[in-house]
A and B are shown apart, each in its own frame.
With several copies, the nearest count.
Chain A
Amino acid sequence: MDKTLPDLAAAVAGIEDGMTVMIGGFGGSGAPIELVHALIDRFLATGHPKNLTVVNNNAGNGHVGLAALIEQGMVAKLICSFPRSADPRVFTDAYLAGKIELELVPQGTLAERIRAGGAGIPAFYTPTSFGTDLAKGKPVEEFEGRAYVQERWLKADYALVKADRGDTLGNLTYRMAARNFGPLMCMAARTAIVQVSALVEPGSIDPETVVTPGIFVQGIVQVANPAQEEDLNRANARYPEDAA
């Protein structure tokens, strides 16, 4: 019943070519940098995984985290709402060169599609995007005199999420706005892997304050002092370091 994983390499060992991987975070807040870098390490050592479909709100910033994953050519398709950042060059270059596919989704629709995936709701209707290019090809239905677009659930093989505290059963809390997509992605992934700053025993987290109940988490690994993407970028970091 203990979901603790021995290390970051073990945490990302099950991700295979062609899988869909949700990666938590909104910009740098909540970005599971260490898990993403562990995935890059594996790719550099073995050539796998590749052809990934990645779900994230953004498209990476600078040359660390998701941007580094894209820079390695591991991502075939990105599903996101806002592929811009302070330094979006990695994604922009890949996209304009036709090396990566983009599915652009309004942010609230993205969040709700992920929640729907986790909640067993295959489709729902939203006013968002009605009458716009992003609704093209989607069914439209009128309810109570207003038009809505049908959107479909989004699920993943894996989620890589950063939380704050986690117990060995997978119960999680987050840190401020780093919560963002984490709880939803844990729900929507067949296997949710979470890095936590503090790994604690069951009973250490007040049951009233659990944000993600353990049922949504399959593996947990402690990263005691996680990097903040924003700090890395302000220091012009790259991953791997010798790629500079």
Chain B
Amino acid sequence: MSKLTSTQIAWRAAQDIADGAYVNLGIGFPEMVAKFQPPGRQAIFHTENGILGFGEAPAAGSEDWDLINAGKKAVTIKPGTAFFHHADSFAMVRGGHLDVAILGAYEVAETGDLANWSTGPKGVPAVGGAMDLVHGAKRVAVITDHVTKDGKPKLVKTCTLPLTGVGCVTRVYTSLAVVDVQDGRFVLREKLAALSFDELQSMTGATLYIDGDVADLTVPEL
């Protein structure tokens, strides 16, 4: 059975972003979501380091290193961009002004708890804006492979890794399914057509509930 690529997961997540939505994409993999805005829709992207409404990456060699995103990658301005300082930036985050934040995850619990900043006490801990982003955005979505590289479930009953936030995730887009977090339960919304419910459940660390239709998770070749 072929699972979705990271690019395809990002594509799927992008389909749920409304025209005009204010969106923060976590650094790394989630940044890919910006590429797949459906035709006719234009989200406005926020980055923690003080830009709203920035544009795509510039051509290599034409970067301006005062114009970067939270992942320290060069971006561009476009009509309607605004600059502001860090306290105003996180007022946008914490104050509930973002429509969607899309983040990566190590683990998501059925309660909506998220672990995505620390793999334990070894090494140098680093949190950045993750703990702020999980609070405030109207929807906090996660994009992730359904299981770890070792095949262990990432959707779990209780997170074992240090938490980023309690009860904060509302939807998870995985390589196999789209799952909502609702009243402390995982509710399956979409799954790959080739995958049976039981197969999916066996790769999930907590009970998957069904509430209404389960659609086929379909994405283009990318």
Contact present for B163 and A133 (CB under 8 Å)? yes
13 extra interface residue pairs, beta carbon distance < 8 Å, beyond A108-B90, A177-B67 = A1-B19, A102-B125, A106-B132, A107-B129, A118-B97, A132-B164, A133-B118, A169-B44, A176-B51, A176-B66, A211-B85, A214-B82, A215-B98
* Contact of A68 with B by CB under 8 A: no
Residue of A nearest to B89 (CB): A111
* Contact of A47 with B by CB under 8 A: no
Nearest CB of A to B201, in Å: 28
Q: What residues of B have a CB within 8 angstroms of the CB of A211 in the complex?
A: 85
Contact present for A180 and B124 (CB under 8 Å)? no
Chain B residues with CB under 8 Å of chain A are 19-20, 22, 42, 44, 46-53, 64-68, 72, 77-98, 113, 118, 123-132, 135-136, 162-166
* Contact of A104 with B by CB under 8 A: yes
Residue of A nearest to B19 (CB): A1
Complex: A213 Cα to B81 Cα, angstroms: 8
A179 and B85 in contact, given A28-B65, A83-B126, A108-B132 (Cβ under 8 angstroms): yes
In the complex, 9 of the A-B residue pairs with CB atoms within 8 angstroms, ordered by the A residue number, are A81-B127, A106-B127, A118-B91, A131-B165, A131-B166, A134-B127, A176-B77, A177-B47, A177-B67
Contact present for B65 and A207 (CB under 8 Å)? no
Contact present for A104 and B90 (CB under 8 Å)? no
Give how many A-B residue pairs fall within 8 Å (CB-CB): 212
Q: CB < 8 Å: which of A96, A107, A202 contacts B128?
A: A107
Number of interface residues of A (CB under 8 A): 74
Q: CB < 8 Å: which of B78, B81, B83, B90 contacts A111?
A: B90
A108 and B94 in contact, given A81-B128, A183-B85 (Cβ under 8 angstroms): yes
Q: What residues of B have a CB within 8 angstroms of the CB of A184 in the complex?
A: 85-87
Residue of A nearest to B63 (CB): A230
* Residue among A83, A174, A215 facing the most chain B CB atoms (10 A cut-off): A215
Contact present for A104 and B126 (CB under 8 Å)? yes
* Contact of A201 with B by CB under 8 A: yes
Q: CB < 8 Å: which of B64, B66, B90, B97 contacts A215?
A: B97
Q: What residues of B have a CB within 8 angstroms of the CB of A71 in the complex?
A: none
Nearest CB of A to B203, in Å: 27
Residues 91-109 of A, flagged 1 when their CB comes within 8 A of B and 0 if not, give: 1100110000010111111
Q: What residues of A have a CB within 8 angstroms of the CB of B95 in the complex?
A: 117-120, 187
